[in-house]
Homo-oligomer: A and B are copies of this chain.
Amino acid sequence: MPNVYRALGDATRRQILSMLKQGCKTQKEIVEAFDISQPGIKKHLNILLEEGIISESLNGKYRIYSINLNILQIASHEMLQYIGELLDDQLVSLKNYVEKGEFRDEEE
Contact = CB atoms under 8 A, between A and B. Distances in A.
Contact of A8 (B83, B90, B97): B83
Interface string A1-15: 000011011100010
Interface stretch (A30-38, A41-49, A66-74): A66-74
27 contacts: A5-B5, A5-B8, A5-B9, A6-B9, A8-B79, A8-B82, A8-B83, A9-B9, A14-B82, A17-B86, A18-B86, A21-B85, A21-B86, A67-B86, A69-B86, A72-B83, A72-B87, A76-B83, A76-B87, A80-B83, A88-B106, A90-B104, A91-B98, A91-B103, A94-B94, A94-B98, A97-B97
